[in-house]
Chain A
Amino acid sequence: MTEQTSSYCQVGSFAVGNRLVDPHLRTVQSDRLRPNALTSGHRACQGCGEALGARFVLDAAMAATDRQLIVVNATGCLEVFSTPYPETAWQVAWMHSLFGNTAAVATGVAAALKVRGDTATRVIAQAGDGGTVDIGFGCLSGMFERNDDVLFVCYDNQAYMNTGVQRSASTPAAARTATTEARGREPGNAFGQGKNLPALAVAHEIPYVATASVAYLHDLEAKVGRAMELHGARYLHVLVPCPLGWGAASRDTIRLARLACETGLFPLFEAAHGEILSATPIRHREPVEAYLRPQRRFAHLFADPPRTDDIARIQAIADRNIGRFDLLGERAGKGSR
């Protein structure tokens, strides 16, 4: 982790807080007076990774902007569970757009602020993977190429969970969804399909692109902080496990988010203007099986007989990421762990 301090402090910077370090080295989430941009009473499922991810990101952004923030939200779980009329769980200026036009609406909000001469208030657009990778991609790509002053955050739970777990272009290979059933010779989602949106964002050569995980809070908050220091189009892709859609125990949300990173399946990196700047090294490498086994969407891989060929193909994806991003710190020399 890049945020580790030099003197040894028990849990270092891996836990949310740490009574042994200076308050300014602790997370926004450890603060008793944190903004709680998303508050209690929302109707997300037990153990929802997206509810957690949204609070982590927006609290950090509110802390970075002195709470001068407008959030535009696409249709999806996050909108449905947070704002069933006549209640809302948001404690931030928040507006709902359509499923596909969030980036365009956010562009408009940023333009309106510019017209009004408001340089203090910042704009975030947020959506699930469906609203980002599939339905919203046209508007998002336009926002990127125009370099509009918006941070777009994708909370990626890897399928259309709100409508009943249908496949998206972010659904991983072999995963079972309602539209990629675990049947036939190639059960689950096909290998070799889908979009790598962080890579597409990097290809737009915008000022800032990063991936983050709800299991690495210090890393996530640091990335939000850096994004808010910059202007222009910025993109943050956050992995948020979904207990319902992934078929996992509600208590395992963070554990799975962590395993996705520690297997190499979800690399944590930062990029600017088309160049990869850094990657967060893996602390304790795990085989992909450790990540796949607890999820029912991959249960068919471990049936009788097991799909060892598919598990090996998924391991190869992880190994490729580890090599590409140097996640074991082999090229850079040992990381600062």
Chain B
Amino acid sequence: MSEHPFAITLDAGSSRDNRTGSWRVERPIYVDRMPPCNDACPAGENIQRWLYHAEAGAYEAAWRGLVEDNPLPAICGRVCFHPCEAACNRGKVDEAVGIRAVERFLGDAAIAHGWRLPERAPATGRRVLVVGSGPSGLSAAYHLARAGHEVVVREAAPRPGGMLRYGIPKYRLPREVIDAEISAIEDLGVEIRCDAGVADIASAMAEGAFDAAYLVLGAQLSHRVQVPAADSARLLDALAFLAGTEAAEPVAIGRRVVVYGGGDTAMDAARSAKRLGATDAVIVYRRNRRKMPAHADLVEEALAEGVTVRWMSTISRVEKDKVLVEKMELDSAGFPQPTGEFTNLDADCVILALGQDADLAPLAALEGVEVRDGLVVVDAQMMTGHSGVFAGGDMVPAERTVTVAVGHGKRAARNIDRWLRGETGGPPPRHELASIETLNTWYYADAGRTVQPELEAQRRQTGFEEVVGGLDEPNALFEARRCLSCGNCFECDNCYGVCPDNAVSKLGPGERYVFDYDYCKGCGICVAECPCGAIVMVPELI
């Protein structure tokens, strides 16, 4: 005490000799939880992570994060049915983050700026055959090429893209976008051979000395239902009709068009018919709107364009310029049952959109491949019963969407890579879900969702111009910043600020924080006040 100047008794900060960490019975630890968007993404994108970069305006870094998992962001940013947004925790606060719109912004920015996909790993000398150049084949080819394998994609059609090009109308997906993202994959050294269908997988593999194959033949045979029709009746198949809109001379359909079916293809067909000059485009569907398999966005857009729907109706007979429609009613089990009430509907042609089947003839000579209900059976690694032959997309049992296909491609590519390297074991275990209960949403500033511009009604009935517009940069930035960063630290400094014991050290940008367990008393305020649920308390081991 005598060593101190007059009236000064104690040294500043001498309390640090008192290690209050010994009081603790529980300790906080930092965790990364699985954000619901990532959890729901069929392509396995790390959405929260790429949004984190986009939030700071680092768009190229965001795009690089995106293409780690999905090489088709400009495509998926337009046609994905965004299960991420349905799962988004912000939907429980105000409105879900417009993830798909930001993805599209990033995909378009990459095309505009010519950002190149990541370089390939050193060549492994292994060869993989991909049959089909739809979204799944493209995704697999990209991931296999990045892993250093030599990839050949064989496509039966004259242009690559599969259903992207021949199934999805260009007012939803402009062809320049498809071409740009495919050519970026080709620039990696992936060879896509068009007009080169494979009649027999086994011999194609042997001839090309391929070590493995990924089969994504799609489902391109329209499901035929026995609809009684007069000889003079004009019946079209929806897939052929949609593919025909790509041709220089589209098929003649007349002015009154009836579309039979309730899926996405029926919506696309009816909307395309409108654009080709049909004054009436009527969808006949046997159940009600709630039971309709088409995605809600597409139904909304179709109705907005003047497409009408005859709910609870089936077609009994097709004649030269009319169809006989029977009214249905739902039974107690929710199945439609005939009522015996009939009405006539004028129709110059009827487009059948009643589902599609896979053509599995090229697999006939492959031993061990199991087929069930017209689909190829695969294991958890996407491998068929024939060793080294993997399959995905619409020809295996799964939801038939572009993003599911992209996800199959990624999973198959990673498993083919492991199989070629002789490795076993699956992907690492998934983190615990960051549910809304784990967040402290008070901290997020209130902000409603940004609305994407839409083409005016008149132009949506006369041409194939893209209907939904993209976000501009300020809006994309705003939308990205609506992300709650569920379950993953975004460096808001709350834990650092709210600790009564100064037991959190801030390590600087990108480096997050560490706890100082010498002084942490285990009060748990940091856990309660972490906006994104990235801290948990665990019992202290005594």
Chain A residues with a Cβ under 8 A of chain B: 4, 8-12, 14-20, 26-27, 29-30, 32, 36, 38-44, 46-49, 51-52, 55, 82-83, 85-92, 217, 243, 249-255, 258, 283-284, 337
Contact A8 B497 (CB under 8 A): no
- B237 CB within 8 Å of chain A: no
- B64 CB within 8 Å of chain A: no
- B12 neighbours in A (Cβ, 8 Å): 88, 90-92
Contact A8 B481 (CB under 8 A): yes
User: Could you count the A-B residue pairs with CB atoms below 8 Å apart for me: how many are there?
Assistant: 167
Per a CB cutoff under 8 Å, which of A10, A20, A82 touches B15? A82
Per a CB cutoff under 8 Å, which of B55, B500, B508 touches A48? B500
Contact B525 A251 (CB under 8 A): yes
- A46 neighbours in B (Cβ, 8 Å): 23, 521-523
Contact A251 B527 (CB under 8 A): yes
A92 to B10, CA, bound (A): 12
Contact A30 B443 (CB under 8 A): no
Contact B519 A47 (CB under 8 A): no
Which residue of B is nearest A243, CB measured? B523
Contact A29 B493 (CB under 8 A): yes
A11 to B16, CA, bound (A): 33
Main secondary structure of the interface of B (DSSP, over half): loop
Shortest B146–chain A CB gap in Å is: 31
A252 to B493, CA, bound (A): 18
Chain B residues with a Cβ under 8 A of chain A: 9-20, 23, 55-56, 442-447, 478, 481-483, 485, 490-494, 496-498, 500-503, 506, 508-509, 516, 518-519, 521-525, 527-529, 531
A177 to B267, CA, bound (A): 69
A40 to B11, CA, bound (A): 14
Contact A15 B492 (CB under 8 A): yes
Contact A255 B496 (CB under 8 A): no
A125 to B508, CA, bound (A): 34
Shortest A8–chain B CB gap in Å is: 5
Which residue of A is nearest B19, CB measured? A41
A249 to B528, CA, bound (A): 11
Contact B10 A250 (CB under 8 A): no
Which residue of B is nearest A54, CB measured? B500
Q: List 18 A-B contacts (CB under 8 A).
A: A8-B481, A10-B485, A11-B443, A12-B445, A16-B496, A17-B496, A20-B481, A29-B497, A32-B508, A40-B518, A41-B17, A41-B18, A46-B521, A46-B522, A52-B498, A250-B525, A254-B525, A255-B529
Which residue of A is nearest B28, CB measured? A251
What are the nearest 4 A-B pairs in CB distance? A17-B493, A16-B497, A251-B524, A41-B15
Known pairs A19-B491, A88-B12; A52 contacts B446 (CB<8 A): no
Contact B56 A20 (CB under 8 A): yes
Contact B502 A8 (CB under 8 A): no
Known pairs A8-B447, A52-B500; A86 contacts B10 (CB<8 A): yes
Shortest B312–chain A CB gap in Å is: 44
A89 to B23, CA, bound (A): 17
Contact A40 B20 (CB under 8 A): yes
A182 to B349, CA, bound (A): 82
Known pairs A19-B56, A29-B497; A4 contacts B529 (CB<8 A): no
Contact B445 A40 (CB under 8 A): no
Shortest B491–chain A CB gap in Å is: 5
A26 to B491, CA, bound (A): 12
A250 to B528, CA, bound (A): 10
Known pairs A46-B521, A89-B13; A8 contacts B478 (CB<8 A): yes
Known pairs A14-B442, A40-B519, A83-B10; A55 contacts B15 (CB<8 A): no
A4 to B478, CA, bound (A): 15
Contact B501 A20 (CB under 8 A): no
Contact A40 B503 (CB under 8 A): yes
- A83 neighbours in B (Cβ, 8 Å): 10
Per a CB cutoff under 8 Å, which of A17, A43, A55, A258 touches B442? A258
A193 to B93, CA, bound (A): 40
A87 to B14, CA, bound (A): 5
- B444 neighbours in A (Cβ, 8 Å): 10-12, 14
- B13 neighbours in A (Cβ, 8 Å): 39, 41, 88-91
Which residue of A is nearest B445, CB measured? A12
Contact A250 B509 (CB under 8 A): no
Known pairs A41-B15, A87-B10; A47 contacts B500 (CB<8 A): yes
Which residue of B is nearest A251, CB measured? B524
Known pairs A88-B13, A254-B529; A15 contacts B494 (CB<8 A): yes
A39 to B14, CA, bound (A): 9
Shortest A127–chain B CB gap in Å is: 19
- A9 neighbours in B (Cβ, 8 Å): 445, 481
Contact A51 B496 (CB under 8 A): no
Contact B481 A29 (CB under 8 A): no
Of the candidates A38, A47, A83, A255, the one having the most CB atoms from chain B within 10 angstroms of its own CB is A47
Per a CB cutoff under 8 Å, which of A10, A52, A55 touches B481? A10
Per a CB cutoff under 8 Å, which of A10, A16, A86 touches B490? A10
Known pairs A41-B519, A51-B500, A55-B502; A18 contacts B525 (CB<8 A): no
A251 to B499, CA, bound (A): 10
- B527 neighbours in A (Cβ, 8 Å): 251
A251 to B9, CA, bound (A): 34
Contact A87 B18 (CB under 8 A): yes
A113 to B478, CA, bound (A): 51
- A91 neighbours in B (Cβ, 8 Å): 12-13
A42 to B23, CA, bound (A): 12
Contact A36 B522 (CB under 8 A): no
A160 to B235, CA, bound (A): 88
Which residue of B is nearest A51, CB measured? B500
